[in-house]
Amino acid sequence: SQTIHQWPATLVQPVGSPLSLECTVEGTSNPNLYWYRQAAGRGLQLLFYSVGIGQISSEVPQNLSASRPQDRQFILSSKKLLLSDSGFYLCAWSTGRPLHFGNGTRLTVT
Amino acid sequence: DQQVKQNSPSLSVQEGRISILNCDYTNSMFDYFLWYKKYPAEGPTFLISISSIKDKNEDGRFTVFLNKSAKHLSLHIVPSQPGDSAVYFCAASELGPATDSWGKLQFGAGTQVVVTP
């Protein structure tokens, strides 16, 4: 069966520090991969998606970037965090419908 | 511009009764609708979905109804159980042949359901 791993579960970072969140999927090949963010009191918003290695599409302009160095690995990064980057970040995968989510990373920028 | 709206931030229901969660959307290009359930500190878990060619889909205690003319869908949970206490998200995706569109979901803000004994 397919599983998705996302780490760390929680992270507290100072403003201006770098960020790297990692996500890996097991049990499937060539999945579409997604990064979503949930800000406080709001729904989930799609940030990036990837349909293959090295292929990244950005949905909203922001301070973050994404990379897919391997088929089942998806990384979310920032060179310098802003206070507004705080939120709950979720990695997700699909090979059809529906979309499946990881357990998320709670990022607090102080 | 929020294309999917859940206007009730919370819902309290007694165990054994029916829970009805509502969701409205504005984009007529949406062709697939989903409900996710989320517990604290966990990712959302897929619950049930419906295609725009149907008006009802049922899975055990969960039924989703779609009214395309009103751009409205609802989730019914019967009977409600304490384990159903969670945040429920409505989501939608647009019609499109590309498989990447299947994961590009627009979400509502969620409804917190509390089932009391």
Contacts of A105 (CB under 8 A, 6+ apart): A6, A7, A8, A9, A10, A11, A21, A88, A89, A90
SS3 call for A88:
strand
* Residue A25 tokens, joined: 């999927």
pLDDT tens digit string along A38-47? 987 778 999 9
pLDDT tens digit string along B55-94? 999 999 999 999 999 999 999 999 999 999 999 999 999 8
Mutate to test the interface with B, among A97, A101, A103 (most CBs of B within 10 A): A97
Interface contact B39, partner A, CB < 8 A:
no
CB contact under 8 A, A32 and B100: yes
B96-117 burial code (b ≥16 CB/10 A, e <16) = eeeebbbbbbbbbbbbebebee
Residue of B nearest to A48 (CA): B104
pLDDT tens digit string along B30-40? 999 999 999 98
| Interface contacts (A, B; CB < 8 Å) | 72
Give CA angle at A19 (A18, A20), nearest 5°: 135
Distance from CA of A55 to the nearest CA of B (A): 12
